[in-house]
Amino acid sequence: MEYIEALYNALINILPFTSQGQQAFFFMLVGVFIGFWVGILPGLGGAATLALMLPFIYKMDPTTAFAFLLGANAVTATTGDITSILFGVPGEGTTASTIVDGHPMAKKGEAGRALGAALMSSLVGAIFGAFVLAAAIPIAAPLVLSIGSPEFFMLAILGITFVGSLSGGNIVKGLMAGGLGLMISIIGLDPIRGVPRFTFEGILGQGPSIFLWDGIDLVAVTIGLFAIPEIIDLAVKGTSIAREQVGKLGGVMEGVKDTFRHWWLVLKCSALGAYVGLLPGVGGGTAQWVAYAYAVQSSPDKERFGKGAVEGVLGPGAANNSTRGGDLITTVAFGIPSSVSTAILFGAFLIQGIVPGPDMLNPAKHLTLTFSFVWIIIVANIITVAACFLFLNPLAKITKIRGSLLIPFLLVLIYLGGFTAKNSFGDMIMVLIFGALGWLMVQFDWQRPPLLVGLVLGTITERNFWISTQAYGAAWLTHPGVLIIGLFIVGAIVYSISQILREKRKSRPAVPEAAPEPEIVMLSSPIHRPIFALFFVALFIYVLRETFYEIQPMEERAALFPMVLGIPCLALALLAFGQEFFYILRRTTGRTDPPAISSSPELGAIRRRAVSIVAWTLGFFLAIWLLGFVIAVPVASFLYFRFAGGEKWPISILLSLAAGVFFYGLFDYFLHLPFPEGVVFDWFNLFD
């Protein structure tokens, strides 16, 4: 009865039925409003926003303070899906997986359906996660303690193996891309010994290499891999984002119905998200890809994924929000933050004079406050989803606007997202580098999600590998949990190979070939396919050379994980090169059909448009670097509207001024983000 009474009192304390509830409800609405826009706008980040909100809670009572903070934190993943679906730019790092199928749906004119599916599955996931928080606290300890470092390591490898099945029938490419993501996560200081690894000091010099000591930022990689290729494609085709008309906005209610048609998938992915959130140090970035991998593996028609499968939106949407409830469990019950956001919330507990732990579960102390978290998550998400549905019509109509009017705004969002990751121009350069890599991967039929999953799981994988070898030596390989997960890994690989062979027997193609991503104009020649694969061979040869001759002499333990990872990745790269080489060999002997490469008379014009948008993308970066964001946004936007887009003078001036005013008003005036003035102004200051 004490628990039921605490649950009831917690609800009353956040609803506007009492003076206490009115205050908590008001600040929850303020938090929801902030979180709504933080989720939509790329680069701001829910964790950073929570940190900025902490100073405002000193004079609040605990219920009001956490209504304010959790109201913002609970909705960023929901609204982040909107940007991911409409523009292919992740609003939040935890919504990157929604791009894979959500954005292709928007390009097919089904933006409304994708948004409806994302919002409703997010609501279901949030409610599920909240009730998991309410029900699972008494049994959270055995769940957390049942997973040791060896099992964590194997689970990470299992996740990469599952997502490797997204490689369109080519598991070699998928696994190698996942290995490349793991290798990128190694760049920087070794987390155990602090030894610099793969910072390219001999090539870049000491100054730029120090930037790489912090590693490669996930947001910059995500934006580059997914957003830059879409920008290029949008400019090359000269159309709007949505290239087909499918009903009214693609059917918002159809997306809502999809949630309930696939209710079992939504519930399972919600459970996965809650459990992944429960595991310390894993977080929503992992949960989204685990859920996406499960959605693919459980589908009888895997070929639809990556091309606009609604299940690819439902799974991550549910998991992202159920994670919010799961990651609060360890924070509240054990005082162990399981993510960056909950670490900041841990600071909020200390500001309020509350120590997370057993007292949070005591009916005589803070149990009512703990249950208020449950209701805040539920109410905040209901309000957010209701507000989103009110704005879906104008939001989805953005996809019908011609690309020349959207590209400058999208480029600003892309560079803003890259810069605000660490307030560094270096991350903007990373966006460009991984944008080029992402575009080449699309051109040569390499799927991008496994790379991103490897990057997300990289730190977890290496840390748990090191702890396992330190604690158990090689004996951890015989742990029952490790062996069971190992069987799942082998089973996933065998199942993927059997699927490839089954499809090969049906269609009898000459070689297994990855299915190209739809909607992207193919500008490359088939002869370049083995050259691109050879690039990865050279890359992993370089990795092993650096490991054996540079890192190992400094610190043997810092070289262990790159060595263990680099050898199988090199073998996979050689296999991929062999596949591409024999593909070209068979094609030149007439034993295969030519691939679907554009050969129309307009191909030359298409390539010129591709060169043009690449030049403008670099031009935006140079403008921001030279003039700073505040001045470069209206200036570069005007130049694009007038000369690249061919818009009339009044429209060009009006839109560029709107972009400048919006950027300055929101990011500089209200949020006071520390944007540098630009190199030109630094030069002038030298002469003062």
Q: ∠475-565-498 over CA atoms, to 5°?
A: 90
Q: Are 241 and 399 in contact, with CB atoms under 8 Å apart?
A: yes
Mean per-residue pLDDT for 478-488? 88
Residue 669, Cβ neighbours under 10 Å: how many?
Answer: 11
- Are 515 and 645 part of one and the same domain? no
Domain membership of residue 635 as a residue range:
624-686
User: What is the band of 645 on the pLDDT scale with cuts at 50, 70, 90?
Assistant: confident
Q: Is residue 537 part of a domain?
A: no
- Are 517 and 409 part of one and the same domain? yes
Enter the DSSP assignment of 516.
P
User: What is the band of 664 on the pLDDT scale with cuts at 50, 70, 90?
Assistant: confident
- Are 192 and 313 part of one and the same domain? yes
Going by their DSSP bridges, the two strands 188-189 and 196-197 should be labelled as antiparallel
User: What is the band of 521 on the pLDDT scale with cuts at 50, 70, 90?
Assistant: low
Q: Is residue 456 part of a domain?
A: yes
Q: Is 628 left (phi over 0), alpha (psi -120 to 50) or beta?
A: left
User: What is the band of 518 on the pLDDT scale with cuts at 50, 70, 90?
Assistant: very low
* Token pair recorded at residue 128: 């599920």
Enter the DSSP assignment of 647.
-
Query: What pLDDT was estimated at residue 508?
Result: 47
- Are 518 and 649 part of one and the same domain? no
Question: Of 1-5, 238-242, 366-370, where does mean pLDDT reach its minimum?
Answer: 238-242
Q: Is residue 552 part of a domain?
A: no
Condensed to tens digits (0 to 9), the pLDDT of residues 448-471 reads 878 877 887 788 788 889 889 988
Query: What pLDDT was estimated at residue 82?
Result: 83
- Are 373 and 483 part of one and the same domain? yes
Query: What pLDDT was estimated at residue 516?
Result: 38
User: What is the band of 66 on the pLDDT scale with cuts at 50, 70, 90?
Assistant: confident
Query: What pLDDT was estimated at residue 594?
Result: 47
Q: Is residue 599 part of a domain?
A: no
Domain boundary among 524, 546, 565: 524
Question: Of 443-457, 573-587, 669-683, where does mean pLDDT reach its minimum?
Answer: 669-683
- Are 208 and 71 part of one and the same domain? yes
Mean per-residue pLDDT for 146-160? 79
Q: Are 292 and 242 in contact, with CB atoms under 8 Å apart?
A: no
Query: What pLDDT was estimated at residue 55?
Result: 66
User: What is the band of 597 on the pLDDT scale with cuts at 50, 70, 90?
Assistant: very low
Mean per-residue pLDDT for 73-85? 79
Q: Is residue 83 part of a domain?
A: yes
- Are 138 and 264 part of one and the same domain? yes
Q: Is residue 590 part of a domain?
A: no
Task: Return the top range by mean pLDDT from 54-68, 128-142, 258-272, 503-517.
Answer: 258-272
CA distance 597 to 587: 14
Q: Is residue 346 part of a domain?
A: yes
Mean per-residue pLDDT for 483-502? 81
Query: What pLDDT was estimated at residue 505?
Result: 67
Q: Is residue 285 part of a domain?
A: yes
- Are 171 and 43 part of one and the same domain? yes
Domain boundary among 494, 524, 554: 524
Query: What pLDDT was estimated at residue 510?
Result: 40
- Are 513 and 662 part of one and the same domain? no
User: What is the band of 591 on the pLDDT scale with cuts at 50, 70, 90?
Assistant: low
* Token pair recorded at residue 492: 């996933």
Residue, of 261 and 518, whose pLDDT is higher: 261
Residue with tokens 């999809």: 258
490 burial (CB, 10 Å; 0-12 / 13-18 / 19+) is exposed
- Are 636 and 495 part of one and the same domain? no
User: What is the band of 41 on the pLDDT scale with cuts at 50, 70, 90?
Assistant: low
- Are 520 and 628 part of one and the same domain? no
Condensed to tens digits (0 to 9), the pLDDT of residues 293-313 reads 888 878 877 778 888 889 999
Condensed to tens digits (0 to 9), the pLDDT of residues 528-574 reads 888 999 999 999 999 999 999 988 888 888 888 999 999 999 999 99
**Which H or E run includes 75?**
none
- Are 518 and 637 part of one and the same domain? no
Domain boundary among 479, 503, 524: 524
Query: What pLDDT was estimated at residue 300?
Result: 79
Overall pTM surpassing 0.85 (yes/no) = no
Query: What pLDDT was estimated at residue 538?
Result: 95
Residue 349 clears pLDDT 90, i.e. is over it? no
Domain count of the fold of the chain: 2
* Token pair recorded at residue 348: 């909020």
Residue 676, Cβ neighbours under 10 Å: how many?
Answer: 16
Query: What pLDDT was estimated at residue 566?
Result: 92
